[in-house]
Amino acid sequence: MKKLLPLFVVCLVVAFMTPALASEVDSTVTVRELFAKADLVLKAKATLELKVIADIYVTKIDKCFEPDSRAMAEVVKKQINEDNNFCLTLTSYSDKIESSFNEGFKGIAQVNQAAGSLNNQGNIVSAAVTNKQYAWANAEVIDYQLNDRLVYDPKVDPATSFTARIEESFNGFTGLAQVNQSPGMANNQNNIVAIAFSTNGAKVAEADVNLDQINVNNFVMDSGVSRTNAITGSFNTFQGIGQVNQSAGNFNNQANIVAFAGTK
């Protein structure tokens, strides 16, 4: 009860003090001066000391940005391998690209190869363009890959092989190449490009990428097998964006992501 008494006195003093302060303060008194006077009055009418500190922050905004157009390229991709149990049925797993997409190829090339099992693969292109000057260009990518509670415990033949190869390909290529190869098991593979562009001077150009890759609670057991990822004689005099994922193994999360926002 004794601890509550000072607080009660302060509240009582402030309540009776307010009209008096109002009559004494004119319109030119600052907030800090007003608090100072309040401090003095409280000291005079009670044996308590009240300290008031006031900081005033003023933010001046000349003009809010209100775009007259938007170029928004957004990609949301989710790949999940969950609660799977598998074994081998073959002794050879092979993905191969040979003498492909060479001289004279222009544009977008997207390839998925999966000789293995339970693989998630994706090739994505998202583009947005505006020709307005007072524009907002935004490229955003969210990619989520999860391997959870996977069991791989096969009786492996020592002669078993897993091979991913790209040979003599994508030479003299112009454009965008996206390739996934997975002779292995339960791999998540993504190639993503998001482009937002203004041809007439956007006021805001923003690019953002959020990538989550998770491997949890998995069990893998094999040994003595052959695993090969190889790129030979390829991507020479290549012009553009090349994205390649190769996984001769198991339970891998792979992603190549480009997010670009720009203005001319």
Q: Same domain, yes or no, for 125 and 27?
A: no
12 pLDDT above the threshold of 80: no
Residues 24 and 140 reside in one and the same domain = no
If one compares 224 and 235, the residue with the highest pLDDT of the two is 235
* Residues 168, 118 share a domain: yes
Assess whether 249 and 146 both reside in one domain.
yes
User: Strand pairing partners for 73?
Assistant: 139
Residue 156 lies in a domain: yes
- Residue 85 shares a structural domain with residue 133: yes
* Nearest residue to 110 (alpha-carbon basis) of 54, 191, 41, 166: 191
| Residues 75, 134 contacting (CB under 8 angstroms) | no
229 lies in a domain? yes
Write down the pLDDT at residue 105.
93
pLDDT for 133: 79
What pLDDT shows up at residue 14? Answer: 39
Handedness of CA 43, 49, 50, 52 (dihedral sign): positive
Vertex 78: Cα angle to 182 and 163 (nearest 5): 5
- The percent of residues above 90 in pLDDT, for the chain, comes to 55
Is residue 224 one of the residues assigned to a domain?
yes
Mean pLDDT of 240-248: 96
Amino acid 54: pLDDT: 47
Range of the domain at 21: 4-45
User: What pLDDT sits at residue 53?
Assistant: 45
**165, 81: one domain:** yes
Residue 25 CA, distance from chain mean position? 55
Same domain, 104 and 212: yes
Confidence of residue 50 (pLDDT cuts 50, 70, 90): very low
Q: Which residue has the higher pLDDT, 146 or 157?
A: 146
Contact (Cβ atoms closer than 8 angstroms) between residue 152 and residue 215: no
112 and 243 inside one domain: yes
Task: Convert the pLDDT of each residue in 19-38 to its tens digit.
Answer: 433 334 344 444 455 445 54
Lowest mean pLDDT among 32-46, 53-67, 75-89, 149-163: 32-46
pLDDT digits (tens, 9 = 90+) for 114-129: 999 889 999 999 999 9
pLDDT, average across residues 132-158:
87
Count of domains observed in the chain: 2
